[in-house]
Amino acid sequence: MTIPLPDIPLRCWAEIDLDALRHNARVCRKMAGEAGIMAIVKADAYGHGLDRVAAALAEEVDWFGVANVREALRARAAAANDIPILILSPAVPDEVPAIVEGRFSACVSTREEVRRYGDAAAERSLPARLHAVADTGMGRMGARPEDFADLVAAIRETDNCELEGVETHFPSADEDPDFTRSQIAVFQRLLPDLDLPADCRVHLGNSAGLIAFQNETPRADLVRPGLALYGVSPLADSDAELRPVLHLKTRVTLVREIPEGTGISYGRTFISERPMRVATLGVGYGDGYPRHLSGEGAEVLVRGHRCRLLGRVTMDQIVVDVTHLDQPPIVGETAVLIGADRDEWLTATELASKAGTIPWEILTGITSRVERIPVRGG
């Protein structure tokens, strides 16, 4: 049951710029050249809201990529069209019938998986659309290169199964170009002996692969951008014209003057060395603002100025130093955690670096307590 809520102002929210999202899809398409675009919308579209993102991208991309059948069903309902949807993760046996019935595509690594899909497809008189995965170095799923031809043969030999695609995945395209090039070479050596159907899709490029290596993968006719769609480049030196899609904001809930020697937050890890003006903000790790930012020099934006985080991040609140502002902030005004404020920016990449993690985790870690609000040109 959905409980109606009164129109109460939010303490913490994420503005989702759908114009920026569509812009990024067009940037990815330009980089992809003749290849199609599979938009990766798993993990609630990297924390941006799967339903809204799928609806916004339905006319901009050629495929959706998801992690499981529940996400596939949500993406199809939101897109309201017959865009192909690939389930990227291995399916547990109980999911297989729903994947076949939903006419979704699935990734497989073993003959046993192929058999399951073949049995489910035969029982339903429907085709199982399968993508054979080659493990060229990710180590998470897929057939080893020496076993890949056998996996492809298993799909082609199994009644009711269609070889719709062949693929591999880059584990370190953003960190190790030499290893990535070795993966590309291994994968491309496998292809000539497979006698692939004319309509079989070949794909291996994630966001980093698309930005840095697309020109080195001539056989690829499909790319799988995720992070880049949301306006974050996995490559620090990229000149891709991406626009951040998510802007995370909160409100000032309290402003106080504190004397020298005041402890801030749990553990009293910060003790003021002088009188200060501090602001409490209505956000914490219960909203997905990482506790690992505590003591790491993290900042927020108040009136376009960077304000240092003081003490530990708590579940619902943080405290920041606003002593240097010309005028004290007003209770209720907005502070920016990710995004722009006047001429200053805080990026998910900066937060990730200070929290000792990656921007993917920052974005997907924003919790359901944070309402996503669509905006245009935010």
State how far the Cα of 25 lies from the Cα of 53, in Å rounded to an integer. Answer: 11
β-pair type (344-346, 334-341): antiparallel
360, amino acid identity: W
Whether 194 and 147 have beta carbons less than 8 Å apart is answered as no
Whether 303 and 325 have beta carbons less than 8 Å apart is answered as yes
DSSP per-residue codes, 55-119: HHHTTT-SEEEESSHHHHHHHHHHHTS---EEE-SPPPGGGHHHHHHTT-EEEE-SHHHHHHHHH
* Cα Rg, the chain, nearest whole Å: 24
State how far the Cα of 48 lies from the Cα of 364, in Å rounded to an integer. Answer: 8
Is 30 noted as a catalytic residue in this protein? no
What's the token pair of residue 19? 């114009």
- DSSP-assigned letter for residue 143: B
* Length of the chain in terms of residues written: 378
Q: Which of 30, 42, 230, 354 is catalytic?
A: 42
The kind and range of the H/E element at 122 are helix 111-124
- Residues with Cβ within 8 Å of residue 250, at least 6 apart in sequence: 11, 12, 13, 281, 282, 283, 287, 300, 334, 335, 337
State how far the Cα of 25 lies from the Cα of 64, in Å rounded to an integer. Answer: 12
β-pair type (318-321, 299-302): unpaired
The SS3 assignment for 186 reads helix
Residue 25's closest CA among 210, 201, 180, 204? Answer: 210
Is 42 noted as a catalytic residue in this protein? yes
Q: Which of 30, 46, 266, 289 is catalytic?
A: 266
Q: Known catalytic residues?
A: 42, 266
